[in-house]
Structure 1
Amino acid sequence: MPTRTRTALLLAVVLTSGGLTGCSSLSAVMGLGSCEGSEERVEQLRSLALLDAPPEGATEVRGYEGVEAECWEDSGDAAISADHMYVHPGTPAEVIRHYRTAAARDGWLPGPSRPAPPRVPIDLCFTRNVNGTPTILTVWSLTPGTFGASEGHPFPPELTTGSGFLVEAMADPAGEPIDCED
C-alpha cells in the first residue's frame, strides 16, 4: 500500500477510533466489500471536483502533490478513498467557509454540526451519492497527531504552522451506505 494511502488510513483510524466524533463508524466504512472490480469507482472518486478545489492561496504539501486514490484492503475490510493534502496561509475559519460554500454548490449535504475536537480546528463531513454510490467527503486539519507519525512518516515541515488540511472522499466498494454521524 502506498505510503500516502497508509497515512490516510491511519488518519481515518485516529479520528474515528480515537474518541473523536467523525464520519461514519469505522466498521461501516471498512467492514464491507472487497477491492475486486473497484477500478471505476476509484477513478470516480479521484475525479471529484472538490479534491482539486482548495481555497485561494492554498498549496499542495510537498511530496503529496495531486490526488491520491485507490481501493485498499486490510484484514478483509475494504474502502475506496481519494485525498489531497494542502497548506493554507489563512485561518481554519476561511478553509471551513470555503468548503461549506463549495460543497453546497456541488450538491454535497453537510453532516451533523459539531464542534471541532481540541487541536483539530477543521473537522467537516459532507455526504452525496456519486454515480449511485453513497460517499462522504471530509475536510480536516493535519497535525502531528493526525498525520501518522506512528507509521514513521516524517511530518512535512510546511505543516508545522498548523495550517495543513486533508480533503478526502470515501466510499464502500460494494456501494453500501456510508454517511456522517454524530
Structure 2
Amino acid sequence: MKVRKAFVLGLLGLTVLAGCGVTGVWAVSGGLYGCTLRDEELADRLATFAILDVRQPDARKLGERYSNCDEDDGFAVAGQHYEHTGTREELLVFYRATAAKDGWQPGRDRDEDGLCFSKPYGGVTAYLSVWFPSSYDIEGEPPANAQEYGLDVTASHDGSAWC
C-alpha cells in the first residue's frame, strides 16, 4: 500500500513538474503576450511574397522591404513603400486587377483610399493591404510626398491579423 501511494505521489509530482515546464516554455515563447518565434518566421515568409514587388512602371521603391511581428496584436507583417506619379484611382485599379491575377480575393476597402484582399497561405489567411499615408500631417500641411503608398501583407496563426 505504501509503495503504491509513493508511486502515485511520484507520478503526480512528475505531471505537475511537466505541466510547469510546458507552461514556462509557452510563456517565454510569447504565449502570454506578443509574438512567438513561429510568428517571426511567418513574417519572414510573408516578406517573400511576389505581390510586394509588383508596381506600376511609374512607381519606385521607397526604403527597404520590412518584416516583423506586431507585438501588441501578435500578427506577422511584411511590406514595401512606393512612390508613384499617377493618380490614386489609377493605382487602385491596377492593384485590383493585379491582386485578382495572383489569387487574392477582394475584401472590404480599408477606407475611401485603400484596398484589402485575402487568400489562404500555409494554413492561415494572409491579408494584402494597399494603403496611403495620411493626406495631411499634424499641422494640416500636405505631406512632402503626397504620392506615397504602401503594400502590406499580414497573417497570424491565431486569426488576429487583418488589413
TM value normalised by structure 1: 0.61
Instruction: Show structure 1 runs of 5+ residues with no match.
Output: 1-31, 117-121, 150-156
What does residue range 122-133 of structure 1 map to in structure 2 within 5 Å? Answer: 122-133=113-124
Please identify runs of 4+ aligned residues in structure 1 that moved more than 4 A: 177-180
Report the Cα offset of residue 178 of structure 1. Answer: 4.4
The reply to whether residue 171 of structure 1 matches residue 155 of structure 2 is yes
Contact between 2:39 and 2:75, CA under 8 Å: does it hold in 1?
no
Q: How many equivalent pairs are there? A: 128
- What's 1:110 paired with? 106
- What's 2:78 paired with? 82
Equivalent residue letter for 1:112: R
User: What is the root-mean-square deviation of aligned Cα atoms in Å?
Assistant: 2.6
- The 3 A distance-change label for structure 1 pair 136 and 114 is closer
SS in 1 for 2:74: strand
Contact between 1:35 and 1:72, CA under 8 Å: does it hold in 2?
no
Equivalent residue letter for 1:69: S
Report the Cα offset of residue 58 of structure 1. Answer: 0.4
Report the Cα offset of residue 179 of structure 1. Answer: 5.1
Contact between 1:134 and 1:179, CA under 8 Å: does it hold in 2?
no
Equivalent residue letter for 1:42: A
Q: Determine which structure has more spread, i.e. the larger CA radius of gyration.
A: 2
TM value normalised by structure 2: 0.67
Report the Cα offset of residue 115 of structure 1. Answer: 6.1
The reply to whether residue 50 of structure 1 matches residue 66 of structure 2 is no
- What's 2:61 paired with? 60
Q: Which moved more, 1:36-45 or 1:125-134?
A: 36-45
Instruction: Show structure 2 runs of 5+ residues with no match.
Output: 1-32
Query: Following the alignment from structure 1 to structure 2, what is the Cα–Cα distance between the partners of residues 114 and 43?
Result: 24
SS in 1 for 2:37: coil
Contact between 1:134 and 1:177, CA under 8 Å: does it hold in 2?
no
Report the Cα offset of residue 40 of structure 1. Answer: 3.0
Report the Cα offset of residue 113 of structure 1. Answer: 5.2
Query: Following the alignment from structure 1 to structure 2, what is the Cα–Cα distance between the partners of residues 58 and 128?
Result: 25
- What's 2:18 paired with? none
- The 3 A distance-change label for structure 1 pair 114 and 79 is closer
Report the Cα offset of residue 161 of structure 1. Answer: 4.5
| Higher RCO (C-alpha under 8 Å, 6+ residues apart) | 1
Query: Following the alignment from structure 2 to structure 1, what is the Cα–Cα distance between the partners of residues 76 and 111?
Result: 27
Equivalent residue letter for 1:51: L
Contact between 1:123 and 1:140, CA under 8 Å: does it hold in 2?
yes
